[in-house]
Amino acid sequence: MSLHAAHVPTREDLVATYSRPLPKSLGTLAAVLAVIGTLVFIIGLFVAPDRVWRAHHANWLFFTSLSSAGVMFVAVQRITTARWSRPIVRLLEGYVAFLPVAFVLLLITLFLGKGYVFPWTHERPPVAEKVLYFNPAFLTARVFIAFGVITILSLWYIYTSVRLDVGLLPEWGSKWAAGLRARMRAGFGEERRELHSTHSLQGKLAVFLALCFGYGWSILAFDLSMGLSLHFQSTLYGWWFFMGAWLCSLTLFTLLVLAWRRYLGAEAIIGENHFHDLGKLCFAFTAFWGYLTFGQYLVIWYGNMGEETHWPRLRLIAPWVQFSVTAVICVFFVPFFGLLSRAAKVFHPTLALFTTISLIGMWLVRYLEVYPSLYGVAPGLPFGLWEIGVTVGYVGLWATCYLAFANAFPRVRAVLMTSPYRDEVQVPVNPETMEPLPAHE
């Protein structure tokens, strides 16, 4: 028997387990945090506008890249036709709910706060090529296009995934989404055909999303993070940035699965093997992030060119060095050595501890991408009420979006777990004729 074999409950049992209503207090808490953060931001606009806009931007980079990477991980499950994640992957699909909000927040930054965030608004880039590259109209257009395409493809992909369950499961969910669920059901056909046509469409969408994610987030990382220092450039920066987001999406996903399993009482469905797999993924991409970080640093150190060395050097002197060392310890050393053993991956307290530390460390990394580039050699560390308040607001806003998704749609891929045709999708078929396709197609 496979080590990953598991008891598959009936469709009715799945719906009953995953449909347990969330406490209203949870949504209220998220909304309160979002309001507190908004108030801090508004007050800061009059008291310390540079601090609140930069805190806003650092948190936008953290929460938006994390959410986008989570959807990309869902798409990778389709590309690899993974089955192990079916009981839990819908809990990750909720990340997509933040992306439309993030698009609006990006508009606000680029039109209202750019003077406090982006140096190209008041400083001439050092070389002619960068003058063209940081032309405001050119930069704004490519940022909107890159993030817009990623957002549209992400929403489309998750829509197709959710539609399959909405169309075949009993009506359930928040009233505000009743109209959307009704549109999903419109024209919904026979289960086997819908299963195959959805799987076929997702295969195409997943590949396009993967290409746009890698290329689009490289552009966004160059423009919105690396570009905060007009004198610095690194061709590895895009990879380093979005793989950090990928690691964040996995560590937060692990924490959410732990919380959902306990709340739903889904011990018979979400088993030890899922946490072992999640722990292995977190460990693997911790190592990969460390590899990219050291690889980027090593090339800069060995090349010893001023236009490159100033960026890491600034983060290794006061007042930034404490945060830099803490971030590297939290993102790499603690989870890498902490998650080496299988026992640490399947023991819930240690798994939660190391993934939480990694998540906090990656927030510090985003902070260090933004603040040193804009403040330079500062007399003190610009970290206090404004940064904490805006972060609290982002936590509340992200949680509000995630909970809205969880309350509106089925929380499990019940059809792919229980359909009598579920294993047929491992072999591609023509969704029109239902005939198997040759392997090369």
For 3-61, give the DSSP string: TT------HHHHHHHHTPPPPHHHHHHHHHHHHHHHHHHHHHHHH-HHHHHHHHHHHHH
Residue 429 is given by DSSP the state B
What does each C-alpha distance from 69 to 204, 250, 334 come to in angstroms? 18, 9, 22
State how far the Cα of 29 lies from the Cα of 21, in Å rounded to an integer. Answer: 16
pLDDT number for residue 242? 96
Binning pLDDT at 50, 70 and 90, where does residue 435 land?
confident
Rounded-to-10 torsion of CA 292, 293, 296, 300 = -160
Residue 89 token pair: 């992957």
Burial 83-97 (b: 16+ CB within 10 A, else e): eebbbbbbbbbbbbb
Query: What's the gap between Cα 267 and its chain centre?
Result: 26
Query: What's the gap between Cα 405 and its chain centre?
Result: 15
Q: Is residue 4 part of a domain?
A: no
What does the pLDDT average to over 188-210? 92
Q: Residue 217: count other Cβ atoms within 10 Å of its Cβ.
A: 26
What does each C-alpha distance from 381 to 61, 224, 310, 323, 367 come to in angstroms? 20, 22, 18, 9, 11
Q: Is residue 279 part of a domain?
A: yes
pLDDT number for residue 427? 74
Rounded to the nearest 5 degrees, what angle is found at the Cα of 29, between the Cα atoms of 23 and 35? 145
The reply to whether the predicted model has a pTM over 0.85 is yes
What does each C-alpha distance from 233 to 115, 155, 204, 367 come to in angstroms? 21, 32, 34, 18
Query: What's the gap between Cα 283 and its chain centre?
Result: 17
Mean pLDDT over each residue of the chain, to the nearest integer:
94
441 pLDDT more than 70: no
Sequence-distant (≥ 6) Cβ neighbours of residue 141 within 8 angstroms: none
37, 397 contact by CB (below 8 A):
yes
Binning pLDDT at 50, 70 and 90, where does residue 142 land?
very high
pLDDT tens, 57-115? 999 999 999 999 999 999 999 999 999 999 999 999 999 999 999 999 999 999 999 99
Q: Is residue 3 part of a domain?
A: no
Sequence-distant (≥ 6) Cβ neighbours of residue 49 within 8 angstroms: 116
pLDDT number for residue 439? 56
pLDDT tens, 150-164? 999 999 999 999 999
Q: Is residue 87 part of a domain?
A: yes
390, 56 contact by CB (below 8 A):
yes
Residue 231 is given by DSSP the state T
pLDDT number for residue 2? 43
pLDDT number for residue 440? 44
pLDDT number for residue 3? 45
132, 81 contact by CB (below 8 A):
no
pLDDT number for residue 431? 63
Q: Which domain holds residue 27?
A: 11-426
Q: Is residue 434 part of a domain?
A: no
What does the pLDDT average to over 427-437? 71
Taking each continuous run of H as one helix and of E as one strand, the counts in the chain are 19, 0
346 pLDDT more than 50: yes
Binning pLDDT at 50, 70 and 90, where does residue 10 land?
confident
Helix (H) / strand (E) containing 359? helix 348-375
Closest CA to 57 of 120, 99, 116, 101: 116
| Domain tally, the chain | 1
What does each C-alpha distance from 185 to 155, 188, 264, 347, 439 come to in angstroms? 17, 5, 27, 41, 32
398, 63 contact by CB (below 8 A):
yes
State how far the Cα of 55 lies from the Cα of 220, in Å rounded to an integer. Answer: 18
Q: Is residue 123 part of a domain?
A: yes
Q: Is residue 346 part of a domain?
A: yes
pLDDT tens, 17-39? 999 999 999 999 999 999 999 99
Q: Is residue 233 part of a domain?
A: yes
Binning pLDDT at 50, 70 and 90, where does residue 438 land?
low
Q: Residue 156: count other Cβ atoms within 10 Å of its Cβ.
A: 16
* Of 143 and 421, more confident: 143
pLDDT number for residue 306? 85
